[in-house]
């Protein structure tokens, strides 16, 4: 229902919609990002909301949201497939070029977030600081990570994963971008 939750921009309602899909067993985890679709179709979104308020025109608004769920689902499937392919390519490169440090846990660490830190590797792999730093610097040396320094610490960016996540907007299926 539009604007039952007055958070200013509908964010809470979008989150509730996705959580409802999870509760109903239509999604296993809340991976759909409807905000992107709504931002790309902002004018239509606000026109339809206004029509619901003024004329109780629910059907068009519900169809708009369902189209958003469909398009966002398709975009998410494409993104997940791209991440899966990147993860497999990274695994193959690590196994062939760095068999001594390859582990599924290390690979998972590189894909849990688009960046990692020495402390993350230490905690997740139960290795010393020196070993974690060596692993990450070795991954930098073969181009799988980029090392960046912020203040007193380093972080290691999985640039290809970051690029996929950053450019997820460019995976457009269905209507063209209206923004």
pTM over 0.85? The answer is no
> Are 83 and 167 within 8 A, CB to CB?
no
Residues (pLDDT < 50) of the chain are 1, 172-179
Coil, strand, or helix at residue 54?
helix
Domains of the chain, first to last: 11-79 (no CATH), 90-164 (1.10.10.10)
The confidence score (pLDDT) of residue 170 equals 61
The confidence score (pLDDT) of residue 6 equals 55
Cα 66 to Cα 21, 27, 61, 111, 169, distances in angstroms: 12, 14, 9, 30, 19
The confidence score (pLDDT) of residue 1 equals 45
Cα 125 to Cα 111, 119, 157, distances in angstroms: 14, 10, 18
Angle at which helices 42-55 and 58-97 cross, to 10° = 150
Please give the DSSP secondary-structure letter assigned to residue 170.
Answer: G
């Amino acid at each position: 229902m539009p604007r039952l939750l007055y958070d200013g921009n509908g964010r809470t309602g979008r989150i509730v919609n996705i959580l409802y899909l999870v509760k109903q067993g239509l999604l296993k985890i809340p991976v759909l990002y409807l905000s992107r679709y709504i931002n790309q179709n902002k004018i239509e979104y606000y026109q339809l909301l206004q029509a619901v308020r003024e004329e109780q025109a629910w059907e068009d608004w519900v169809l708009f949201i369902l189209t958003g769920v469909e398009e966002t689902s398709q975009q998410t499937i494409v993104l997940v497939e791209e991440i899966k392919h990147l993860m497999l390519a990274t695994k193959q490169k690590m196994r062939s070029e760095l068999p001594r440090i390859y582990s599924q846990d290390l690979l998972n660490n590189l894909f849990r977030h688009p960046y990692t830190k020495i402390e993350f590797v230490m905690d997740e792999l139960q290795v010393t600081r020196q070993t974690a730093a060596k692993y990450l610097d070795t991954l930098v040396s073969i181009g799988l990570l980029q090392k960046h320094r912020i203040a007193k610490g380093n972080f290691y960016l999985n640039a290809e994963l970051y690029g996929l996540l950053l450019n997820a907007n460019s995976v457009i299926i269905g209507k063209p971008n209206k923004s």
